[in-house]
Structure 1
Amino acid sequence: MPSGFFALLDDIGALVKASAATLDDVPTQVAKTTGKVSGIVIDDTAVTPKYVVGLDPSRELSIIFQIAKKSLFNKLLILTPAALILGYFAPWAITPILMVGGAYLCFEGYEKVHSMFAKHHDVDPATEPVEVITPEELEKERVTGAVRTDIILSAEIMAIAYNEVKDEPFANQAMVMLAVAVFITIAVYGFVGLIVKADDFGVHLAQDRFHPVAQKFGRGIVKFMPHFLGFLGVVGTAAMLWVGAEIVAHGIPFTAHLLHDLEHALANIPVLAWFAKVVACLIGGLILGFIIEKILILVKKMLPKKKASEKV
């Protein structure tokens, strides 16, 4: 009996050691996974600031916090469980779902590019109704748009995170993905908060009570930030097209091989290989966004229109 008891203790000790070794490996896996998704993290960071441009500066951090809170909720309670469940029961479904999200990013990116170059006609209030929107409604609309874009980028992040740990024990998978979700959300939205409040910091430094060098630096920040935010808006739109097209391309064997062949052909010049892939994805994203827009217009025309007399 005593020998059996000590054997049981030995088994428990071995199990504890194995569990400890597994837990020790989690930080390494988190660091590795975070590195894999760094490109999408940069895209997410570039996309977000444009959603607070033009709104009340005193509401900027509140808006970013709202977006960050919903982003973390989506990652922790929707995307991570969904990835784990799909990865276990239907791994084949992950790629098609991501492709739908990628197609949406291409469509949204194309719409933004189209609006940049389309001719804008002044609205005549006498003939066309002017939509009036309150600051609160605009803020809600911006937050909704940001969360909608974020959930697609977050889905891609969590899918890549799952792919990195799919061969690990389930407990490891869950811990790594949850850690990645928290770390990336804090990193992205913390940095976004610093970006959008940088001009306030510049105004603070420009006050007379500071050294002239600090004042000059503060004024420089104030002058620079509008241009930087405008640049980030362009980068964010490009990021939608790039990431969206790459997601779709990797889900189609033919286009996935084309991208691989392009990178392989320029493997001796890594920077050029990366740039060529980005340009190819941007062009492909614009084409896909254009096609989706035309399909939606066609579908809208085919749908029956309600007559004025049918309005309730």
Structure 2
Amino acid sequence: MSGLLALLDDVAAIAKVAAASVDDIAGQAAKAGAKTAGALIDDAAVTPAYVQGFEARRELPIVGRIALGSIRNKMLILLPIALLLSAFAPWMIAPLLMLGGAYLCFEGAEKIWHKLFPHEHVYDAAEHSVGDPSHLEEEKIAGAIKTDFILSAEIMTIALAAIPQSSFWFEAATLAMVGVGVTVAVYGSVAVIVKMDDLGLLMANKGRLGMTRALGRGIVAGMPGFLATLMVIGTAAMLWVGGSIILHGLHEIGVHAPYELVHHWAEAAAHGVSEGLAGAVEWLSTAGMDAVFGLAVGVVLIPIGTRVVGPVWTAVFGSKA
């Protein structure tokens, strides 16, 4: 009997250690996932465009297939690469992170540039032809998964950099949890967004109460504005996260002036308000200056991306890529 009790005590101790490890992994995954806010918001803002023009019954299956492709990107390709980098070339993480930050700055600045200076779109008969709907669906899904790969690479790199030095299996479990968690969060949100107009139409046409019908009409009328607002928030978040990543990277490699200037100005702004608001003002000031810095970097990168990287990419992978 005493031997059985001792065995049960050992099992309970092992269970406590395992539970603590799971809590640690979940905690680190939550912290690492929070660092990826800019890329997540942009992913959620961009993806609904890939289901536009399809029948309502095809919207959720398309989102589901893109989500599965995103999981494959993260789990089968990016996770092993991230672990190999962490184990054998940790010095590459910071440069890759800064490269990803530069990409976010470029994307954010390019969206603002095209909004301020819209270029005339050249009509392409092939682009506007109806074609085979199933073939068009496959093309849209493939394009969405390629776009997701770039954003997923940024997400996984940011998450890897946010994880403290730990064991191989701890990093693997944390990155896997981040990968699955952010994919569920992004594509779950996308699924809700793309079906909101259908829900609004259903409520407007078949609601039993006048309030229900009015709410349905409000949802339908409000969705274009909501999507436009989401795009603005996503762009701002990209610039903020991208600028912050580059500033921190410069600070780590010995270029301290930009990072210290931002924090000096943020602290000065916090000193001008009451103590209860000082923390919020300092954070907002830092985020705002990070975003301005990210916008400046992105504007510098626009001609490089459009006139050098873009043509080279098209020559290597084709215009569809």
- The normalised TM-score by structure 2 is 0.75
Note closer, same or farther for the CA distance 1:120–1:182 as it changes in structure 2 (3 Å cut): closer
Note closer, same or farther for the CA distance 1:90–1:43 as it changes in structure 2 (3 Å cut): closer
How far the C-alpha of 1:33 sits from its partner, in A, is 2.8
Q: What RMSD over aligned residues (CA atoms) do the two structures have, in Å?
A: 3.5
Aligned to 2:53, what secondary structure does the other structure show? coil
CA distance in 2 between counterparts of 1:158 and 1:297 reads 26
Residue pair 1:50, 1:229 contacting (<8 A) in 2 also? no
Residue 89 (str. 1) matches residue 88 (str. 2)? yes
Residue pair 1:103, 1:288 contacting (<8 A) in 2 also? yes
Range that drifts further, 258-267 or 211-220: 258-267
Q: Which residue of 2 aligns with 1:257?
A: 260
How far the C-alpha of 1:276 sits from its partner, in A, is 1.9
Aligned residue identity for 1:132: E
Gaps of 5+ in 2: 313-321
Task: Return the match for 2:186 from 165, 185, 188.
Answer: 188
How far the C-alpha of 1:217 sits from its partner, in A, is 1.1
Aligned residue identity for 1:74: N
Aligned to 1:197, what secondary structure does the other structure show? helix
Aligned residue identity for 1:270: G
Deviations 1:125-178 (CA, angstroms, capped at 9, x unpaired): 7xxx76634566876666566545544443444344434544333222222221
Task: Return the match for 1:132 from 105, 117, 127.
Answer: 127
Aligned residue identity for 1:241: L
Aligned to 1:56, what secondary structure does the other structure show? coil
How many residue pairs were aligned?
Answer: 291
Deviations 1:173-217 (CA, angstroms, capped at 9, x unpaired): 222221222122112211221122111111111124522221111
CA distance in 2 between counterparts of 1:39 and 1:220 reads 34
Task: Return the match for 2:203 from 202, 205, 219.
Answer: 205
Note closer, same or farther for the CA distance 1:142–1:192 as it changes in structure 2 (3 Å cut): same
CA distance in 1 between counterparts of 2:203 and 2:82 reads 46
CA distance in 1 between counterparts of 2:269 and 2:15 reads 44
Residue pair 2:62, 2:141 contacting (<8 A) in 1 also? yes
CA distance in 1 between counterparts of 2:259 and 2:145 reads 28
Residue pair 2:41, 2:233 contacting (<8 A) in 1 also? no
CA distance in 1 between counterparts of 2:264 and 2:213 reads 52
CA distance in 1 between counterparts of 2:121 and 2:34 reads 42
Aligned to 1:206, what secondary structure does the other structure show? helix
Aligned to 2:102, what secondary structure does the other structure show? helix
Q: Which residue of 2 aligns with 1:287?
A: 296
Q: Which has the larger radius of gyration?
A: 1
Note closer, same or farther for the CA distance 1:264–1:33 as it changes in structure 2 (3 Å cut): farther
Note closer, same or farther for the CA distance 1:251–1:151 as it changes in structure 2 (3 Å cut): farther
CA distance in 2 between counterparts of 1:148 and 1:101 reads 16
Aligned residue identity for 2:202: H
Residue pair 2:105, 2:242 contacting (<8 A) in 1 also? yes
Aligned residue identity for 1:283: V
Deviations 1:77-111 (CA, angstroms, capped at 9, x unpaired): 22222222211211110111121122122212222
CA distance in 1 between counterparts of 2:140 and 2:244 reads 26
Aligned to 1:55, what secondary structure does the other structure show? coil
Residue pair 2:204, 2:217 contacting (<8 A) in 1 also? yes
How far the C-alpha of 1:294 sits from its partner, in A, is 2.7
Aligned to 2:205, what secondary structure does the other structure show? coil
CA distance in 1 between counterparts of 2:169 and 2:306 reads 47
CA distance in 1 between counterparts of 2:155 and 2:306 reads 31
CA distance in 1 between counterparts of 2:137 and 2:109 reads 23
Note closer, same or farther for the CA distance 1:38–1:20 as it changes in structure 2 (3 Å cut): same
Residue 33 (str. 1) matches residue 32 (str. 2)? no
Range that drifts further, 107-116 or 40-49: 40-49
Deviations 1:204-249 (CA, angstroms, capped at 9, x unpaired): 1112452222111111111111110111112222222222222222
The 5 A counterparts of 1:294-309 are 294-296=303-305, 299=308
Gaps of 5+ in 1: 1-5, 304-312
Range that drifts further, 13-22 or 150-159: 13-22
Note closer, same or farther for the CA distance 1:134–1:174 as it changes in structure 2 (3 Å cut): farther
CA distance in 2 between counterparts of 1:273 and 1:146 reads 37
Note closer, same or farther for the CA distance 1:69–1:258 as it changes in structure 2 (3 Å cut): farther
CA distance in 1 between counterparts of 2:161 and 2:120 reads 48
CA distance in 1 between counterparts of 2:120 and 2:140 reads 24
Q: Which residue of 1 aligns with 2:17?
A: 21
Task: Return the match for 1:247 from 241, 245, 248.
Answer: 245
